[in-house]
A and B are shown apart, each in its own frame.
Chain A
Amino acid sequence: METLNHKEVINLLLQLATMLIMARIFAEIARKLRQPAVVGEILAGIIIGPTILGSLFPAAQDYLFGAHAMSNIALDGFVQISVVLLLFIAGLEVELQVVWNQGKNALKIAVASMALPIIAGFVVAYAFPEFLGVNINDRIVASTFFGLAISITALAVVARVLMDLNLFKTPTGLLIIAAAMIVDVLGWIVFSVILSLSESGSGGLGVWPTIGLTLFFTFFMLTLGKGLINKTLPWINKKLAWPGGLLSLSLAICFLAASFTEFIGIHAIFGAFIIGVALGDSEYLTEKAKEILHQFINNIFAPIFFVSIGLKVNFIEAFDPGIVGVVVIVGLLTKYWGAYIGGRFASLPRKKAMVVGFGLSTRGSMDIILGLIALENGLITESLFIGLVILALISSISSGPLMGWAEKLKI
């Protein structure tokens, strides 16, 4: 097995240390300003990436993130694992019980809040592919990808905002949470189907077998797979070290599921997400264990991923105000109005529908991952990706104050 040499090991460790330290500093600043940590972590990446550090001190930036190709490959491995784990906890956050309890209303809101951005995003990207920067050779897939990327809600971020506003346990709060969970599940199923249609994403099994396997895998994991987990988890909890046994084996089955979906031609993260849903829904995964998994992944792997975004793209060079403007306007308006209309269909009063609209507009996690996959698959340009990141930053910063404002309205 090929190994890193002395200098490459030092470089890799310095890369990780820099990323974690900068992420922590900026997450703390964001926290002081009552903003989600993800905002600080993305800014930290922009600062130590080619955008700021690369412009001001190119030699230092090159030494850290450019001089050792092998270290960069190893770092990319860390980032890949981080994405898989982020999707795993995104799946753990989905509580099917909450979804069932909120029932049709949550489904109406979730579907409407996704349908409008997907349709509008698709139309805009399909009509102006060159202006927006979507791959003209894979126009349908790239346009749908763009629509999907602006239709996602960041569940963990909105959960935090709702807690801060004291709305988490209210009927509106639970409706937002349940709708965001449905958006997550639908979003990743649609994502897998689209990716299998993409020329660059197809893994060789063909489109229809891949779609069939995606749906089969989802159904299997949420029924029989969950049954198997329910049989195994009590034994793990009882016989193995706690939480060590549970942590290592949950991550192991997460990686197994991720490798399986990657093998059948869907992206690895889909497997991680669905196994997260199945595991999180098990009655034997205690809330304490969920909390530990959250802390472990959110504080170590999530910062590595979000900082890495700033390392991949030069946010000044590739910045296009026209693209960013379109992405932000289309993204904010369609998501808000989609969720608002869904809320009205679910018979919510205007004020509550507005709160739901702003709540579901919260972004800042899965949408960025989607954008990055699209970028890596050549479906979108760096400029469009920057637009998606800025949309995520603006919506995650603004959703809290907007929800608070709507909640106080006397209408």
Chain B
Amino acid sequence: MFRKIALAIAFSPRMEALLAEVKRLSILFESDLILIHIGEKTEEQESKFQEILDRHELDHDRTKLIWKQGKPVKMILEVCREEEVNLLVAGALKEEGLLKYYLGSVGRKIIRKSPCSVLTLIDPKPETTSFSKVVINGTQLDITPFVIAQGAVFSKAVQADQVHILNEIKMYGLQMGTAGEDSEEEIANTRRQLVQDEMDYVEEILKGIDVSTLKINIKVTGGKWAVELGRFCEKIGADLLVVGDDSRLTFFDRLFPHDLEDLLSTLPCNLLIVKN
């Protein structure tokens, strides 16, 4: 699923935990590991990093440390493109302050502009994170079949206990409001049909994926998908949310937040953004 996994490293309190997390993922997905450091390459720095890599017992043949100088976000994304990275792992704070939200922190900027899939860990742990409850966005979008397929592969690899696929009825209020011209029975049928259509949509996608070892629950809701996903994740205490993204978010999206931006302002849990 991920041939190359990348992690930007700096001497921060979270570095050890993040290294443990990517090491586990690289073993699970049999991936090469790319570590990116933005800063001047000195002998002292080099030996410090070597010591850390040795401590984590990273496979030397499959691990590459890349040094870059310049603007962190630009450089990290450049390495991802050059090295054809499939998954970039990043640590991020759960909540973004108002100023940082509009200006963009390094973590959020990476998420917004990354050319590859991004796994954002809000609380990376040295003993690694357990992805027991996974929520996948099943709302009808062009990228959704791919997201569900990737989410299922990821869930199997991390041995998730329960996978929830949340689908949203688009403009439920408007549809039911206009259905208000009908009789009681017709309204009930319309309501039932709207839910059934969304169930059918997800079930049709699942037919083409091997999910035999997964416990899957399809849930249908009404409202804005990103907001509903956030609420659902918080309600069930999800460990990971899998969503897709096929667009680059801009400042304008932050001014009038929608979809993914709704999620990025306050991350409900760890977030895997799948890019095709």
User: In the complex where A97-B224, A174-B170, A298-B180 touch, is A159 in contact with B175 (Cβ < 8 A)?
Assistant: yes
User: For residue A160, which residues in chain B have a CB less than 8 angstroms away from its CB?
Assistant: 178-179, 181
A177→B258 CA distance, assembly (Å) = 17
User: For residue A291, which residues in chain B have a CB less than 8 angstroms away from its CB?
Assistant: 172-173, 176-177, 180
Judge if B256 is at the interface, Cβ distance under 8 Å.
yes
Judge if B158 is at the interface, Cβ distance under 8 Å.
no
User: For residue A101, which residues in chain B have a CB less than 8 angstroms away from its CB?
Assistant: 258-259
Judge if A5 is at the interface, Cβ distance under 8 Å.
no
| Contact status A290-B174, CB under 8 Å | yes
Judge if A31 is at the interface, Cβ distance under 8 Å.
yes
User: For residue B181, which residues in chain A have a CB less than 8 angstroms away from its CB?
Assistant: 27, 31, 36-37, 160, 298
Pick from A31, A156, A286: contact of B178, CB under 8 Å: A156
Judge if B46 is at the interface, Cβ distance under 8 Å.
no
User: For residue B172, which residues in chain A have a CB less than 8 angstroms away from its CB?
Assistant: 287, 290-291
Nearest CB of chain B from residue A302's CB, rounded to whole Å: 10
| Contact status A177-B176, CB under 8 Å | no
| Contact status B255-A100, CB under 8 Å | no
Judge if B234 is at the interface, Cβ distance under 8 Å.
no
A168→B171 CA distance, assembly (Å) = 10
User: In the complex where A100-B258, A101-B259, A222-B256 touch, is A286 in contact with B177 (Cβ < 8 A)?
Assistant: no
CB closest chain-A residue, reference B190: A163
Residues B169-212 near A (CB distance < 8 A): 169-182, 190, 197
Residues A149-182 near B (CB distance < 8 A): 156, 159-160, 163, 168-169, 174, 177
User: For residue B190, which residues in chain A have a CB less than 8 angstroms away from its CB?
Assistant: 163
| Contact status B262-A287, CB under 8 Å | no
Nearest CB of chain B from residue A331's CB, rounded to whole Å: 23
A101→B171 CA distance, assembly (Å) = 13
| Contact status B176-A294, CB under 8 Å | yes
| Contact status B258-A223, CB under 8 Å | no
CB closest chain-B residue, reference A159: B178
Judge if A320 is at the interface, Cβ distance under 8 Å.
no
CB closest chain-B residue, reference A222: B256
| Contact status B177-A156, CB under 8 Å | yes
Chain A interface bracket (under 10, 10 to 19, 20 to 34, 35 or more): 35 or more
| Contact status B180-A95, CB under 8 Å | no
Pick from B179, B253, B262: contact of A163, CB under 8 Å: B179
| Contact status B174-A159, CB under 8 Å | yes
| Contact status B180-A299, CB under 8 Å | yes
Pick from A92, A100, A299: contact of B173, CB under 8 Å: A92
| Contact status A290-B177, CB under 8 Å | yes
Interface string of A256-299 (1 = CB under 8 A from B): 00000000000000000000000000010011111101110011
Judge if A98 is at the interface, Cβ distance under 8 Å.
yes
User: For residue A290, which residues in chain B have a CB less than 8 angstroms away from its CB?
Assistant: 172-174, 177
Pick from A31, A95, A98: contact of B182, CB under 8 Å: A31
| Contact status A169-B262, CB under 8 Å | no
CB closest chain-A residue, reference B178: A160
User: For residue A382, which residues in chain B have a CB less than 8 angstroms away from its CB?
Assistant: none
A299→B224 CA distance, assembly (Å) = 26
Pick from B140, B176, B182, B258: contact of A169, CB under 8 Å: B140
User: For residue A37, which residues in chain B have a CB less than 8 angstroms away from its CB?
Assistant: 181
CB closest chain-B residue, reference A171: B142
Judge if A184 is at the interface, Cβ distance under 8 Å.
no
Interface string of A76-91 (1 = CB under 8 A from B): 0000000000000100
* Most central of A159, A163, A168, A287 by chain B CB within 10 Å: A287
Judge if A93 is at the interface, Cβ distance under 8 Å.
yes
Judge if B227 is at the interface, Cβ distance under 8 Å.
yes
A276→B258 CA distance, assembly (Å) = 17
Judge if A189 is at the interface, Cβ distance under 8 Å.
no
User: For residue A31, which residues in chain B have a CB less than 8 angstroms away from its CB?
Assistant: 181-182
| Contact status B259-A100, CB under 8 Å | yes
User: In the complex where A283-B227, A294-B180 touch, is A96 in contact with B258 (Cβ < 8 A)?
Assistant: yes
Pick from B174, B178, B224: contact of A283, CB under 8 Å: B224
| Contact status A294-B177, CB under 8 Å | yes
User: For residue B224, which residues in chain A have a CB less than 8 angstroms away from its CB?
Assistant: 97, 283
| Contact status B171-A295, CB under 8 Å | no
CB closest chain-A residue, reference B172: A287
CB closest chain-B residue, reference A284: B227
Nearest CB of chain B from residue A163's CB, rounded to whole Å: 6
CB closest chain-A residue, reference B171: A95
User: For residue A177, which residues in chain B have a CB less than 8 angstroms away from its CB?
Assistant: 171
CB closest chain-B residue, reference A31: B181
Nearest CB of chain A from residue B180's CB, rounded to whole Å: 5
Judge if B97 is at the interface, Cβ distance under 8 Å.
no
User: For residue B179, which residues in chain A have a CB less than 8 angstroms away from its CB?
Assistant: 160, 163
CB closest chain-A residue, reference B141: A101
A37→B181 CA distance, assembly (Å) = 7
A128→B2 CA distance, assembly (Å) = 69
A168→B259 CA distance, assembly (Å) = 20
Nearest CB of chain A from residue B219's CB, rounded to whole Å: 15
User: For residue A89, which residues in chain B have a CB less than 8 angstroms away from its CB?
Assistant: 177
| Contact status B258-A287, CB under 8 Å | no
CB closest chain-B residue, reference A94: B174
CB closest chain-A residue, reference B176: A291
The 21 sampled A-B contact pairs (Cβ below 8 Å) are: A31-B181, A31-B182, A92-B173, A93-B174, A95-B174, A96-B256, A156-B178, A160-B178, A160-B179, A169-B140, A174-B170, A283-B227, A287-B173, A287-B223, A291-B172, A291-B173, A291-B176, A294-B177, A295-B180, A298-B181, A299-B180
Which 10 pairs across A and B sit closest by C-beta, in order of nearness? A294-B177, A290-B173, A287-B222, A283-B227, A287-B172, A160-B178, A287-B173, A97-B258, A291-B176, A295-B180
B interface with A by C-beta (< 8 Å): 140, 169-182, 190, 197, 222-224, 227, 253, 255-256, 258-259, 262
11 additional A-B pairs beyond A96-B256, A100-B259, A283-B227, beta carbons within 8 Å, are A36-B181, A89-B177, A93-B174, A159-B178, A163-B178, A169-B197, A174-B170, A222-B256, A289-B173, A294-B178, A294-B180
